[in-house]
């Protein structure tokens, strides 16, 4: 009997080869793809960190003096990228470029808008206080009031850890009355600090869990408030608001011929919105607002032209007030008759007394206008409209007259002249937006990819 014996040696190996080779091919392809994505993620992460570090190296002196962010172009370096980039991309060609010039009109306007829009409501409210002569108290909450609040709080035994820290109804009533009474006595500095420090307060508030727990829908409330603040900073884009922001920016950061304020016999030095003393600042940066208004880079010429314009404007107002005042005109007519008689007797020339009356009125108006400007240049405030024309005292300062002149200028002209002021003090080039490019080395997994580019800017809306 014949027995057929089949040799099966190698069958298992062949089966494994048929199955494992495709699997290895799939795994190798997946690994290569994963490595590529990981390499790209590491490269992008290093680029982003480099951009953030570069923007963080802004010039603090520029920000303090002019309220805008700018990175000196000459300080560009990529040490952060070289430290964080994966080793396989260490030979990459990389560099920083200027994506947005600080003094470009659109970029500068964007930064000024975000700086001033939150302050505009407070500044306008302050104008209403000063124009109408309403009292502007020196304290927000008196020390005695704070003592009453503290006593009432401690009498209730304080708040236990983890409990609500909101006051009870009686204490809330006391707080409400005190705040209501104190809102009418908010000083200019307090009003500015309220909006400037609100975002900082929100950051501190976020760490107080007991306070958030006591608020109804605390997280939603915080989110809504911060969203409202951000929306206010980003808009509106109305031309009137933009022009107002530019004018208030000039008054907040730039120097003028008046660096002190005199009120009730007290002399008080003025400062910029960032706290710099204007008297010291004007030594290096004289009459910047006057230069912007008149379009000249000579501070003495700019001061003289602005003063001449103010004398002319105030003389016209004083002339209108004289013509509207019957008693003043009667006195001038009597003086004109006397003067006409003297001239007729001395020279034989007969002049109309009425003509002499208007000449005397013009001379007196010019003299009063000059007195007004002298008072303004000394840091004093004057009545915008004399009593014979308006009973309500509208008090204005030198800065208020400059504000009206700034409003007359076109926005593009204002931006151009503001950038000129910044360039005079900081002549080097500054970037408000930075572009970072990387060309991967030839042997890397991204060698076939075109140059990678990433941008980051202060001016993003």
Instruction: Write out pLDDT tens, residues 39-56.
Output: 778 788 888 888 888 888
Q: What is d(CA 353, CA 340) in angstroms, rounded to the nearest whole number?
A: 6
* Low-confidence winner among 145-149, 296-300, 389-393, 432-436 (lowest mean pLDDT): 145-149
Q: What is the pTM of this model?
A: 0.68
Query: Closest Cα to residue 455, out of 97, 110, 105, 106?
Result: 97
pLDDT digits (tens, 9 = 90+) for 230-248: 555 555 556 777 888 889 8
C-alpha angle 419/420/426, rounded to 5°?
Answer: 85
End-to-end CA distance of the chain: 96
Token pair for residue 122? 């407070």
- Cα 163 from chain centre: 39
Q: Please check the confidence at residue 173 and state whether its pLDDT lies above 90.
A: no
What are the CA-CA distances from residue 118 to residues 7, 114, 125, 194 (Å)? 90, 7, 12, 10
By CB neighbour count within 10 A (0-12 exposed, 13-18 middle, 19+ buried), where does 182 fall?
middle
Query: Closest Cα to residue 440, out of 69, 31, 92, 123?
Result: 92
Q: What is d(CA 123, CA 127) in angstroms, rounded to the nearest whole number?
A: 6
CB of 422 closer than 8 Å to CB of 286 = no
By CB neighbour count within 10 A (0-12 exposed, 13-18 middle, 19+ buried), where does 11 fall?
exposed
Contacts of 82 by beta carbon, 8 Å cutoff, 6+ apart: 90
CB of 44 closer than 8 Å to CB of 454 = yes
Q: Please check the confidence at residue 382 and state whether its pLDDT lies above 70.
A: yes
Q: Please check the confidence at residue 443 and state whether its pLDDT lies above 80.
A: no
218 or 227: whose pLDDT is higher?
227
Contacts of 453 by beta carbon, 8 Å cutoff, 6+ apart: 435, 436, 437
pLDDT digits (tens, 9 = 90+) for 279-295: 999 999 999 999 999 99
- Cα 348 from chain centre: 67
Token pair for residue 254? 């730039």
What share of the chain has pLDDT > 70, as a percent? 68
**Strands of 161-295, DSSP E:** 260-263, 266-269
Token pair for residue 345? 């007797």
Residue carrying the six token digits 């960190």? 49
Over residues 398-417, the mean pLDDT reads 92
What are the CA-CA distances from residue 233 to residues 241, 309, 460, 461 (Å)? 12, 35, 12, 9
- Do you know the residue count of the chain? 461
CB of 190 closer than 8 Å to CB of 129 = no
pLDDT digits (tens, 9 = 90+) for 177-201: 555 555 555 555 565 565 556 555 5
Q: What is d(CA 197, CA 194) in angstroms, rounded to the nearest whole number?
A: 6
């Amino acid at each position: 009997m014949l027995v057929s014996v089949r040799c099966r040696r190698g069958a298992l190996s062949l089966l494994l080869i048929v199955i494992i080779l495709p699997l290895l091919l799939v795994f190798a392809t997946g690994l290569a793809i994963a490595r590529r994505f990981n390499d790209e993620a590491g490269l992008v992460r290093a680029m982003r960190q480099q951009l953030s570090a570069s923007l963080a190296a802004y010039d603090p002196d520029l920000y303090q003096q002019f309220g805008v962010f700018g990175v000196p172009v000459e300080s560009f370096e990529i040490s952060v990228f070289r430290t964080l980039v994966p080793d396989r991309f260490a030979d990459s060609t990389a560099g920083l470029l200027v994506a947005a010039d600080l003094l470009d009109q659109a970029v500068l306007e964007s930064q000024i808008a975000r700086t001033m829009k939150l302050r505009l409501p407070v500044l306008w409210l302050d104008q209403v206080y000063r124009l109408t002569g309403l009292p502007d108290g020196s304290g927000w909450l008196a020390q005695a009031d704070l003592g009453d609040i503290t006593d009432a709080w401690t009498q209730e035994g304080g708040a236990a850890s983890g409990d609500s820290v909101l006051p009870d109804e009686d204490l809330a009533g006391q707080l409400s009355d005190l705040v209501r009474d104190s809102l009418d006595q908010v000083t200019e500095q307090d009003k500015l600090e309220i909006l400037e420090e609100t975002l900082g307060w929100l950051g501190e508030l976020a760490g107080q869990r007991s306070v958030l727990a006591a608020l109804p829908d605390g997280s939603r409330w915080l989110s809504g408030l911060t969203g409202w603040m951000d929306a206010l900073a980003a808009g509106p884009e109305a031309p009137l608001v933009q022009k107002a922001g530019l004018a208030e920016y000039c008054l907040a950061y730039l120097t003028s011929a008046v660096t002190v304020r005199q009120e009730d016999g007290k002399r008080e030095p003025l400062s910029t919105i960032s706290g710099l003393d204007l008297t010291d600042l004007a030594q290096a940066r004289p009459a910047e607002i006057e230069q912007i208004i008149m379009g000249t880079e000579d501070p003495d010429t700019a001061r003289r032209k602005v003063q001449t314009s103010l004398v002319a404007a105030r003389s016209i107002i004083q002339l209108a007030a004289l013509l509207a005042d019957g008693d003043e005109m009667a006195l001038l007519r009597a003086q004109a008759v006397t003067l006409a008689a003297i001239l007729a007797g001395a020279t034989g020339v007969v002049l109309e007394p009425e003509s002499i009356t208007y000449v005397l009125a013009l001379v007196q108006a010019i003299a009063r206008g000059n007195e007004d400007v002298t008072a303004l240049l000394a840091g004093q405030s004057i009545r915008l409209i004399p009593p014979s024309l308006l009973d309500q005292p509208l008090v204005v300062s030198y800065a208020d007259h400059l504000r009206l002149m700034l409003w007359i200028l076109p926005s593009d002209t204002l931006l151009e002249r503001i950038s000129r002021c910044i360039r005079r003090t900081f002549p080097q080039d500054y970037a408000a937006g930075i572009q970072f490019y990387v060309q991967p080395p030839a042997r890397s997994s991204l060698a076939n990819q075109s140059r990678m580019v990433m941008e980051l800017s202060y001016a993003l809306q």
